[in-house]
Structure 1
Amino acid sequence: MAKQIIQTELAPQAIGTYSQAVKVGNTVYLSGQIPLDPATMTLVEGGMDAQIRRVFDNLKAVAEAAGGSLQDVVKLNIFLTDLGHFALVNEIMAGYFVQPYPARAALGVAALPRGAGVEMDGVMVLDQ
């Protein structure tokens, strides 16, 4: 099965040896997104609320570039440098997703690229 590389300028460009997403069949593997502004490639300002929203916006842009939406996400992984922000993630996530929600994991990590407080990646399955 052929793979298709997904790329959009509406999300940050890859800052390493990876693609924004890879589509294989009707499955799309979304690379981790940190709260970089795609226009400036710098971390957004405004605290954790702004960081979480930027990550969801970045994931949304890549999902749409792949021909889907956040509603097609079946698995979401959330990495936080402070698990004290878990409730804030839930609150903001409710504005981006509707039921049925994707399967999800939330992990506390020591550090993330560029000093980000949050990173998310996921898997989408598109309707055939």
Structure 2
Amino acid sequence: MKSTAIEPIETKAAPKPVGPYNQAVLVENFLYCSGQIALDPSTGEMIGNGNIEEETRQVLKNLMAVIKAAGGKSSNVIRTTIYLTDLNDFAKVNLIYAETFSQTVSPARACVEVSNLPKGGKIEIDCIAWLGNKE
């Protein structure tokens, strides 16, 4: 049986993980991105002061930085999961999310409300991207 290498992906353009995990791992053509919260990569501090729009923009910026570090772009994302501490923020998040994914086929997605997120964040997003069509 052939062994598949698992390659960690790391970039300084996204925050360092807050635990024992990688920003993403690449397995063959699939990129599995860990959840991103609204941390500023240069300071490690939360962005937005609880403003869901600012947090969402930073989360997506961080996520796209990880995808770019692996050689991908937003059109490579095939699946996302959004975690919100308040599902009433769903419409606001959707508007900003669409800015990132409107140029392509929108990824499959789940969105769930959770009781708490790291660092007191209001949103976290993770994703899976397929890098087989890198151009």
Structure 2 length as normaliser, TM-score?
0.92
Q: Does 1:87 align with 2:87?
A: no
- Residue by residue over 1:68-117, the C-alpha shift from the partner in whole angstroms, topping out at 9 and shown as x without a partner, is 01211100000000001100111001111124100000000000000000
Number of residue pairs aligned between Structure 1 and Structure 2? 128
**Bigger CA radius of gyration:** 2
* % identical aligned pairs: 43
Kindly state the Cα deviation for residue 45 of structure 1 after the two structures are TM-superposed.
2.4
- How far apart, in 2, do the equivalents of 1:87 and 1:45 lie? 18
Q: Which moved more, 1:90-99 or 1:35-44?
A: 90-99
Give 1:3 shift.
1.0
Q: Show the counterpart of 2:105.
A: 100
In structure 1, how many angstroms separate the alpha carbons of the residues matched to 2:54 and 2:65? 16
**Which residue, out of 2, 6, 10, partners 1:3?**
6
Q: CA RMSD in A?
A: 0.9
Runs of 5+ consecutive residues of structure 1 not aligned to the other structure: none
Q: What TM-score does the superposition give when structure 1 sets the normalisation length?
A: 0.97
Within 5 Å, give how 1:65-84 maps onto structure 2: 65-84=69-88
Letter of the structure 1 residue corresponding to residue 56 of structure 2: I
Are positions 1:115 and 2:93 aligned together?
Answer: no
Q: Distance in 1 between matches of 2:83 and 2:48?
A: 19
Runs of 4+ that moved beyond 6 A: none
Q: Determine whether 1:55 maps to 2:54.
A: no
Structure 2 distance, partners of 1:4, 1:95, is: 29
Tell me the amino acid that sits aligned with residue 84 of structure 1: N
Residue identity opposite 1:115 in structure 2: G
Alpha-carbon distance between aligned partners in 2 of 1:59 and 1:71, rounded to the nearest angstrom: 13
Indicate conservation of the 8 Å contact 2:52/2:93, yes or no.
no
Task: Work out the CA distance in 1 between the residues paired with 2:53 and 2:122.
Answer: 10
